[in-house]
Structure 1
Amino acid sequence: MRMILRELLKMVQLLFLIFLLFAYAMFQGGFVSWFLFYSLVPLLVYMITLLFYPLSNFSVTRNIKKSYLEAGDSLQVDIEIKRKYPVPLMYLRIEEIYSDSIHYFDIGKMKYQEMTRAEGYNEKRSMRTLIFPWFKREKIVTYYLNHLPRGKHKLKAIRIQTGDLFGFINKEAIIETENELIIYPKIKPIKLLQTARQLDSGNSPSTLVNEKHTNIVSGVREYIPGDRFSWIDWKTTARKNTVMTKEFEQEKDTQLGVVLDLCGGKSENKLAFEGTIDLVASLLSVLQRKHFAASFLSVGESSVYFPPTVLQFQTNQIQSYLASVTLEENDAFVRQFENDYKRFPKGVSLVIIIRRLDEAKQRMFLQLKKIHPHIYVFLLKAKKEVTPADENIKHSLASANIQVRLITERELLRPEIEVKITS
């Protein structure tokens, strides 16, 4: 309502100015007064027309060539502007309205040079450009989004502004046009050193997924989002009144479990968390390529478990999850994992990726050692944040044959990360 009143007031002012010029020409007479009147009236009429020209009727479309990228990639964005009436516009300012999640700049592995300076990469990302459409009905503006951060981001709206030459008329409209970007974690090269463990029933290691076993049903379990429709056991579903899917032999033969700690706090190092996401994504990628029977568990208030079938046949589901997962502001890892570890078959090797090491985790790992003989802990932490207590716990766990691998900026900046496991 206030905007309408403001526009009406400006229209009255412009009409009064036209009347004033006409009165001056009538009473003064002569070439100069009438020249002034006929020179300024078209401009004032244009300003009145511009005052009521509806920018909200503009058709604004954002076109992106890729919706799925990796962290640190760049993206070309084309903004196509169309309008119905070719009223001359001296200028048109275009501004992209971003969600808060996209302001972080991911400069690749170089961001780990100083892991204690995570706030240095949180910069206000902006896109403002000026075009001069005049009578053109269509215009395309191209720009680039560089160093995109991991996550699911939404480009929601575009602000357009125009006005007259003197700044008396200012028009603005925010046009909703939504696009979603899914930025996956950056996959780093990993050198996997594997020592195979013998099975109880024979001499062949069961770390490799035997494709013949994918059709051997060994039981049923509750449905997990991403399971194939053909895996549903309809008889058991009807009997238990909940969706149940078939469990295949390779799920029983899981020989490696990857665990990610999502729990932290407000003072948590954000770059260290991003490092754990990159490490998990890279490790799962190499395990999938080598056909490991591996499962994945993220531990938080709402833990999520992915069985080996998802890793082998629905990798995109895990990638999509890792793209959107965020750091939780709690310290519930030990309490939650004491319940969640039961999802892994007894005796499997565990790779646990954490950012903090304390006595509670130490006691839990020692208890876990009784059920899972091979435990590998990856502690990702900035070199400056490693404390003597971390070193003491690390040596204490090593004496119990639990390997703790410290990963700092030095390891993350290397071209390749070496991971040694027994499965």
Structure 2
Amino acid sequence: MRGYAIRKAMQPHRLTLKVWAVAGSFFGSLCFVLFQGGKLALMLFVIVSILSIYLLLGKWSGIRKTAGSRQLMNAEHETTIEAGSSLNVSMHLQIPGIWPIPYVFVKERLFHKNNTEYTYEVTLVPDWKRRGIFEYKTHPLRRGFYTFGKTECVTEDIFGLFEHTGYIELPQQVAVLPQIVPIREWHQFHQMMKGTNHHSTTTRAVRETTQINGVREYIYGDRLSRIHWNATAKTGTWKSKEFERESLPKTFVVLDRHSQGYTEDEQFELAVSVCASLFHYGASRSFALGLVSGGAASQFFEPKHGQQHLKAVTQHLIGVEADGTYPLRRILKEYVQNVAPGSFVTVISPEHGESMLAVLHWLKQLQLNPCHIFVSADPQRKEHWLKSLKSAGFVGYAVSSLAELPVMLGGRS
């Protein structure tokens, strides 16, 4: 910072020295032609005069009035991409005026909502109409909201003596969605629904109406009467009919945002991606899921189904951070205390041990059905915690990467 401040303070002095150097060359050649005379002196004076006028007119090069437009090549609806993806950006510049411009140095700034700045620099040579087009690719972006800052355009004269700068304001926001993974089946969830709604063993069809609500992937064990033959013939893969469901117990997903629980950013990103994947799974199966997200700004979403509900939850997950100061049990007491008995509560958290067991036992006392999804990259810790959950009579999963989630939930871990 100190060196940067020194350089900024020295820039006006450097500019003054350059101006005096050009002025000195002009008056030197003028004196040479006045006191010495001759063709050489005259020719030198004409050349220096032309160059001085050229350098002087650089101030009106038109770079300060540069116009442009930005296009996001691979963003859906030009606003969203998935985390881990790069953004392909195309810029079109139009520089007014007639002053010769050898090249333009363009600097783009992309700001994350946590004030992190990413800079992308490109050099282009304008065509004879003073237009320029360039493309660049960002690094893989993490989840969150991004905003483009002012675009800085810099050019110099052919000698590199004077620098001229212009700015283009093209405000644009990009939302980077959390990564999701398609979940084929959540075995324990269906087992819980079956046990909650029935005192005897029955098929899943008993809990469904006769109204067809769509088509889903074939699940091993589906009866022949459920197979959608037209969809199977068109797609070449087995498809089953999806019926509208009767009233089911409420289901809540709890995202633990306690800042002390996460040792690294990737661990929290995994927790958010797991949460987003569960909601996409619920939306694809027409399950009503609610969200409890306790942090600096806590959010509570009632269990609903539909694209609008999924969109609202996803919008919240884009900007969520591990900024909570209260432990998980305090958050649950605030939002889950009055939840109807029999509801399914899935807790996504890196917390484990006696504190998490106490939370699960407390949920059990409220006549709820708790489930813990443990996010950790330590294999020994994962194995030990799963054994502890099983011995305590709770359902639990341990994931260290998003790709493991469908396998774990499908009961093939």
TM-score, reference length from structure 1: 0.74
Determine helix, strand or coil for the equivalent of 2:48.
Answer: helix
1:380 maps to 375
Letter in 1 for 2:29: L
Q: Does 1:187 align with 2:180?
A: yes
Number of residue pairs matched by the alignment? 361
Distance 1:92 1:41, change over 3 A: same
Determine helix, strand or coil for the equivalent of 1:197.
Answer: helix
| Counterpart contact for 1:58–1:82, Cα < 8 Å | yes
| Counterpart contact for 2:181–2:403, Cα < 8 Å | no
Which string of whole-angstrom CA distances, capped at 9 and with x for unpartnered residues, describes residues 309-347 of structure 1?
355543211111111111115342221112211363221
| Counterpart contact for 2:69–2:92, Cα < 8 Å | yes
What's the RMSD between the two structures over aligned residues?
3.6
Aligned ranges 1:48-59 → 2 under 5 Å: 48-53=56-61, 55-59=63-67
Determine helix, strand or coil for the equivalent of 2:148.
Answer: strand
Q: Does 1:158 align with 2:151?
A: yes
Aligned ranges 1:19-418 → 2 under 5 Å: 19-53=27-61, 55-65=63-73, 66=75, 67-100=79-112, 125-133=118-126, 135-192=128-185, 193=187, 194-195=190-191, 196-199=194-197, 253-265=248-260, 268-309=263-304, 311-328=306-323, 330-342=325-337, 344-383=339-378, 387=381, 394-409=386-401, 412-414=402-404, 416-418=406-408
Distance 1:211 1:349, change over 3 A: farther
| Counterpart contact for 1:310–1:317, Cα < 8 Å | no
1:419 maps to 409
Determine helix, strand or coil for the equivalent of 1:334.
Answer: helix
Determine helix, strand or coil for the equivalent of 1:48.
Answer: helix
How far did residue 169 of structure 1 move? 0.6
Structure with more relative contact order (C-alpha pairs < 8 Å, separation 6 or more): 1
Could you list the runs of 5+ residues in structure 2 that have no partner in the other structure? Answer: 1-8, 212-244
Partners of 2:272 and 2:160 lie apart in 1 by 50
Pick which of 3-12 and 290-299 moved more: 3-12
Equivalent pairs: percent with the same residue? 20
| Counterpart contact for 1:150–1:184, Cα < 8 Å | yes
| Counterpart contact for 1:91–1:133, Cα < 8 Å | yes
Pick which of 80-89 and 347-356 moved more: 80-89
Letter in 1 for 2:197: L
Distance 1:41 1:128, change over 3 A: same
How far did residue 266 of structure 1 move? 9.1
| Counterpart contact for 1:294–1:311, Cα < 8 Å | no
Determine helix, strand or coil for the equivalent of 1:376.
Answer: strand
| Counterpart contact for 1:254–1:308, Cα < 8 Å | no
| Counterpart contact for 1:89–1:134, Cα < 8 Å | no
How far did residue 145 of structure 1 move? 2.4
Partners of 1:207 and 1:144 lie apart in 2 by 53
